[in-house]
Amino acid sequence: MDFYDLIKNRESIRNYDRTRPVEKDKLNRILNAGRLAPSAANKQPWHFLVISSEEMLDKVRTCYHRDWFKDAPHILVVAGRKADAWVRQHDGYNSLEADLTIAMDHIILAAENEGVGTCWIAAFNPEILSDALSLKMDEKVYAITPLGYTQKGFKKKGRKDRKPLDEIVRFL
């Protein structure tokens, strides 16, 4: 698929077929896209958690209360530690959040390319998620996404309301 068509056609999916897990080779290609994402000073301060077992899915699903979220056969979490990320000397800015979100974006675009649905979720409860995954105190998560195929007959909305370029771009 053309890259610009992929970006234009990608949308957040809130309809998953719980009975159809994503094939391992597709999952690996999707995860590899995250691995290849750029990060500040190439620190790669991330690790990817793919939750697929019913036991772990039941634990993780408690961090975000939407019925459609319970139908995804996989949940992907991108986590990292600030101590592993690049820090700007001038003001102490830590790149962890940017690095993890770039990796998540690569993963979401790769999933779209593979025909796998995703939905960027930041409204989860981080304490519940951290407990469910037994994350260490210094591990951070800024976004999670379900991964899965849509139910038969599901049709994408096919529209994106975005501001026009002339409202968001300044050429200097």
Q: What is the pLDDT of residues 103-151, one digit of tens each?
A: 999 999 999 999 999 999 999 999 999 999 999 999 999 999 999 999 9
Per-residue pLDDT at 153 exceeds 90:
no
- List the structure tokens of 96: 């962890």
- The domain total for the chain is 1
- For 8, 53, 54, 67, 76, the CA distances from 73, given in Å and listed in that order, are 25, 9, 9, 13, 10
Q: What is residue 76's DSSP assignment?
A: E
Give the CATH number for residue 61: 3.40.109.10
Give the torsion sign (CA, 51, 57, 131, 118). Answer: positive
Domain of 126, in residue numbers: 3-168
Contact indicator for 128, 137 with CB cutoff of 8 Å: no
DSSP letters, 88-137, are -TTT--B-HHHHHHHHHHHHHHHHHHTT-B---B--S-HHHHHHHHT--T
Reported as a single tens digit per residue, the pLDDT across 49-95 is: 999 999 999 999 999 999 999 999 999 999 999 999 999 999 999 99
> Furthest-apart CA pair in the chain: how many Å?
54
pTM greater than the 0.75 cutoff: yes
Alpha-carbon span 82 to 84, nearest angstrom? 5
Q: What is the pLDDT of residue 135?
A: 98
Strand partners, 121: 144
- List the structure tokens of 125: 């409860």
Per-residue pLDDT at 158 exceeds 90:
no
